[in-house]
């Protein structure tokens, strides 16, 4: 059945060509959709060149850096409109290993949301500064203590949704844009009672290009967890 790997990009010219090829080689049923926010380095031009000889590659260009959350929402809408059954999220920078895609897809046959998880057994992250590792690890604990959502890696961005999950969530209501986008999607999926499975992955810090993570994105997540939990208690998320 048809699968779409959605990859948001902002200045990923060092990675994007290799990434597209690595993803497509995993499985003939996989298509790839790049959501590029008018990267100044010309990432979209590289994608267009690949598209000339490969119709499994799709591109949506947005006018400027509008954030990860709205990029994924745009990609989800595209996936639903075009009949995809398995809808995957992935970064462009090889932090998520394309060789893990078949395992995610396999698990998604019997689950509604599959999360590639860094924290199934201990911590599986390579080359992150200790500070960043601590923030991420304790963020996952923090999410659990506030929401009691049984997910070990709630902020991870390597995952696979079944179509019915995205159909049941009102994508226009999504509040978050940064890391909390991942938490919010998991939370809304979990509250609806869908089957969620974590499969272990190893996350490797990027070699090419630079991270776009910012303090603002971290703070958004800190507050958003409370907001989501409060909305659930008020019956606004159900
Ligand atoms: N379209 C789009 N992509 C983004 C934006 N911010 C980050 N990305 C992409 O999202 C993925 C993860 O971002 P990254 O900077 O690696 O974050 P980190 O892994 O948390 O350090 C990469 O593929 C980025 O190019 C954005 O505002 N718009
Ligand atoms: Mg990254």
Could you tell me if the CB of 65 is within 6 A of ligand 1?
yes
Residue 141 to residue 147: CA distance in whole angstroms: 10
Could you tell me if the CB of 71 is within 6 A of ligand 1?
yes
Whole-number Å distance, alpha carbon 117 to ligand 1 midpoint, is 18
Residue 198 to residue 161: CA distance in whole angstroms: 12
Closest CA to 24 of 50, 52, 63, 61: 50
The domain limits of the chain are 3-233
DSSP 215-238: HHHHHHHHHHHHHHHHHHHTTS--
Mutate to test the pocket of ligand 1, among 5, 9, 158 (most ligand atoms within 8 A of CB): 9
Residue 232 to residue 237: CA distance in whole angstroms: 5
Pairing of strands 203-204, 125-126: parallel
Confidence at residue 213, expressed as pLDDT on a 0 to 100 scale:
82
H or E element that contains 89: strand 86-89
State the distance between the two ends of the chain, measured CA to CA, in whole angstroms.
Answer: 29
Residue-level pLDDT, tens digit, the chain, 238 residues: 899 999 999 999 999 999 999 999 999 999 999 999 999 999 999 999 999 999 999 999 999 999 999 999 999 999 999 999 999 999 999 999 999 999 999 999 999 999 999 999 889 999 999 999 999 999 999 999 999 999 999 999 999 999 999 999 999 999 999 889 999 999 999 999 999 999 999 999 999 999 988 888 889 999 999 999 999 999 999 9
Structure tokens at 215: 């303090």
Whole-number Å distance, alpha carbon 64 to ligand 2 midpoint, is 19
Nearest CA to ligand 1 atom 20: 213
Confidence at residue 72, expressed as pLDDT on a 0 to 100 scale:
98
Residues with Cβ within 8 Å of residue 158, at least 6 apart in sequence:
88, 89, 90, 91, 96, 100, 104, 115, 116, 201, 203
Could you tell me if the CB of 9 is within 6 A of ligand 1?
yes
Topology given in CATH for the domain delimited by 3-233 = Spore Coat Polysaccharide Biosynthesis Protein SpsA; Chain A (3.90.550)
Does this model's pTM top 0.85? My answer is yes
């Amino acid at each position: 059945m048809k699968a779409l790997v959605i990859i948001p990009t902002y200045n990923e010219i060092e990675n994007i060509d290799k990434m597209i090829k690595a993803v497509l080689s995993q499985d003939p049923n996989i298509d790839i959709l790049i959501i590029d926010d008018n990267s100044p380095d010309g990432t979209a031009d590289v994608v267009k060149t690949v598209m000339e000889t490969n119709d499994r590659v799709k591109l949506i260009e947005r006018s400027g850096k509008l954030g990860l959350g709205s990029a994924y929402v745009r990609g989800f809408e595209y996936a639903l409109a075009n009949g995809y059954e398995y809808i995957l999220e992935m970064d462009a920078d090889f932090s998520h290993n394309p060789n893990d895609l078949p395992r995610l897809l396999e698990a998604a046959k019997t689950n509604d949301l599959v999360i590639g998880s860094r924290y199934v057994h201990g911590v599986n992250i390579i080359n992150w500064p200790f500070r960043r590792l601590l923030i991420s690890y304790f963020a996952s604990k923090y999410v659990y203590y506030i929401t009691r959502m049984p997910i070990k890696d709630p902020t991870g961005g390597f995952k696979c949704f079944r179509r019915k999950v995205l159909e049941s969530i009102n994508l226009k209501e999504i509040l978050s844009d940064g890391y909390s986008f991942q938490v919010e999607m998991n939370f809304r999926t979990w509250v609806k009672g869908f089957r969620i499975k974590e499969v272990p992955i190893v996350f490797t810090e990027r070699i090419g290009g630079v991270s776009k993570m910012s303090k603002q994105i971290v703070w958004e997540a800190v507050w958003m967890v409370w907001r989501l939990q409060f909305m659930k208690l008020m019956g606004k998320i159900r």
